[in-house]
A and B are shown apart, each in its own frame.
Chain A
Amino acid sequence: MKRSPLELSNTNIQKRHRKARMFRLLCAGVTWLGAALLAILLIQITLDGIKWLDIQFLTSFPSRFPYKAGVKSALVGTLWLITMIAIVSIPIGVATALYLEELSHKGRIAKIVEVNIANLAGVPSIVYGIIGLAIFVRGLGFERSLVSGALTMSLLILPVIIIASREAIKTVPMSIRHAAYALGATKLQTAWAHVLPASFPGILTGVILALSRAIGETAPLIMIGALTYVAFLPEGPMDSFTALPIQIFNWVSRPQQEFHELAAGGIIVLLVVLLTMNATAIFIRHKTEKKLQ
C-alpha cells in the first residue's frame, strides 16, 4: 500500500522530532538547574542575614559583639577600592586594546602579547596577590594601603578588560574606518572619534564584568595584607583598609552562629553593591545604544 507523503506516521520524521524535543528538554533542564541553585542560595542568604540588616549594621564598625558589629569600614573600603581600580584599569585596559587592535603593526610581537594576555586572564588570583605583595607593598613601599590593593586588583582584571574591549572593537565595521580614512583622518583620529564610541557598549560590558570580579575577590587582598579588623575609615589612598569580602570571610571563620548570620548580611550588602553597578552599566549601555540607532 502506498503511503501519503504527508502522513504523520512517517516514523523517520517522528524520530527526528522526538530527538529535537529531548534535546530542548535537556537544555531547559540545565538552564533551570543553574537558576534554581542561584535562587536557593539567595533565599538561604536572605533568610540568614535579613534580620541583621538595618541602619545600625551599615553604620557600625566591626565589633567583638555581634549585635554591635557592622560593615561600615568594609563597605566604605570596597567603594574606595572599586573606584580606584576603575580609575587605574579602565584607561590602561582600553588604551591597550585600542593599541593592539587599531594602532599597532600586527606583527609577531603583537601576536606574542596577544597570547600572553589571554594566558594572564587565566592566572589564579592568589598569584596576583603575591605579585602585589612583592611589587606594590614591599618593592614600591606602598604598604598595606588602598593603593596597593587597587593596583593589585587592576593587574588581576586588566586582561579581562583588554580582551573584552578588543572583541568590542573588532565588531565595529571596517566600512566606518574606511569612511574616516577617506576623509584624511589619521588612525588615531579615526579610533578616537568613531571606533571607540561605536564599541563603547561592548567595552562597558567587559569593564563591568571585570569590576564585578574585582569586587568579590578576596584572595589577593588577604595576600597583600588588607586588615580584617578596621575601626576607622580610610581618608586617602595611602590608608590601610578592609573590604566586604574580607569582612565576610572573617565573620564566617568565627565559631559563633551570630557571626555567620552577620556574614550573610554582609553578602547581601555586597550583592546590592554589585547589582547596582550592573544596573547602572546596563542603563548607560542602553542609552548609548539607543543614541547610535
Chain B
Amino acid sequence: MNIRDQDLSTSIDHREVLQPSPFQARVDEHGLVQNWMSWNGYKTARVYDTLASEYFAVRSTCSVMDLTPMEKYRISGPQAKAFLNRLVTRDISNLKPGRVTYVIWCNDEGKVLDDGTLFHLREGDYRLCAQHHQLDWLLLSSLGFDVSIEHETHEVAALAVQGPTAFAVLTHAGIADLNVVKPFDNVARTLGDIDVMVSRTGFTGDLGYECWVDPKDALALWDAIFALKQQGLFDIRPIGLGALDMVRIEAGFIMPGDDFNTAETAVRADRDRSPYELGLGWLVNFDKPYFTGKQALIAERARPAKRQLLKLIVEGNKPPQDAFLYDSKNGSRIGTITSCVWSPILKTNVTLADVTFTDGEPPSEIWAEIYYQKELEWRATWAKCRISEKAFWIHPRSSATPPNNL
C-alpha cells in the first residue's frame, strides 16, 4: 500500500512535528540541501543552497528570509503604553504610531530576559517581536494594568527583504512610496490587491525591510518578489539562519541564547547578564517611570563593571570558535568567545566575546588561544584581539533616506 493512502491524521508523523510556515510551499521548493532546523517550533532552513551564495545575497544583491517563526505579541488596551514602559528598559512613551524601536526587558534582578523590536501600530496598539517565547512573562507583568496581550506568531506572516537592492526589488515588485520610509518606520502599503505592512528594520546591518502580511497572502508576496528574479531583473535568494548568523555578527547584533543566557534559562548564579554586561547600557533609561529591574540596575550602575560582552577583531585567519581568552599569551583566562565568523566582506575574524573586567576596566590586552586542524592534525596558536567600539560592518545606505541616493 502506498504510504500516501494511509490515514496518518490520527498518528503523530515524526516528519511533520515541526510547524509549517505560511511560506512553506516555496521554502521547501528552494531548500535544495534539505538542511532544516527548528526555530520556535517552525520548520526553518539553515541553508537553502550554499552558505556563501546566501551570505553574498545579503551583502551584494537581495536576500529574502522567512521571519514568521519570530515570536510576535499584540499588546493593546488603555494601559498598553504604561504596561510596555514598565516592561522595557527604554522610555517608549514617545514612540509614535508608525515607528519601531529596539528594546530589551529584564527580570527583577535587572538581568536580561530577551530582546526584540516594538512596533507602535496604531495609537495604543503595539506589536512586540521577541527572540524567545515570552507570553508567560508578559502575562505575569500585566498584573495591575488594563491591557490585552495576544500571542500572534501564527497569525502574521513575515518576510525580511534585505540587501543593497532591497529597496529596488520591493519598488519593482509594486510597493509604492518606499523612498519616504526612514529607518524604524513602519507603514501600510499594498502589493497588487494584498495589504502589506512594511517596516524598515532588519538584522543585517544593511539596507532592508520587513514585510508583514496575513498568512493567506504569504505566497502571493513571495511570488511577487521572486517573479522579478524570473524576469532576470534582480538576483534574489532565499537565505537561511546560517547566513543570517554571519551577517548579524558582522553588524554586531547579539543573539539571546547564543551570546548570553537569558535570565529565565540561566540556572547557575552569575550566568545571566544585565544590559550593562551586554554592552546595552544605552538602552537603559533611569529618567522614566519605574520599570522591572530599575532598582537593581541603579545599584549595579554604582558598582564597577564586572564583565562585558565585547566586539573583538581577532587577528589571523584561524577560526576562533569557542576560544578561551587570556590577558596575555599563556596569561590568566579572562573570558570566552560566544559568536564568531570569518567575515568574507571584511576579510577578518569578527567575534563577540564575554570578557571579565578588572576594577571596571576592560583588559589592556586580549589574546585568543585557537585550536585548529590541519589535515587531521590539531594545532594551537595565539591570536591578538582588538576591541571594536563600533559594529564591524554597517553600510551607510542602511540609514540613508531615500536609500537609492547613495
Q: Do A and B interact with each other, yes or no?
A: no
**Residues of B that sit less than 8 Å from A by CB:** none
**Residues of A that sit less than 8 Å from B by CB:** none
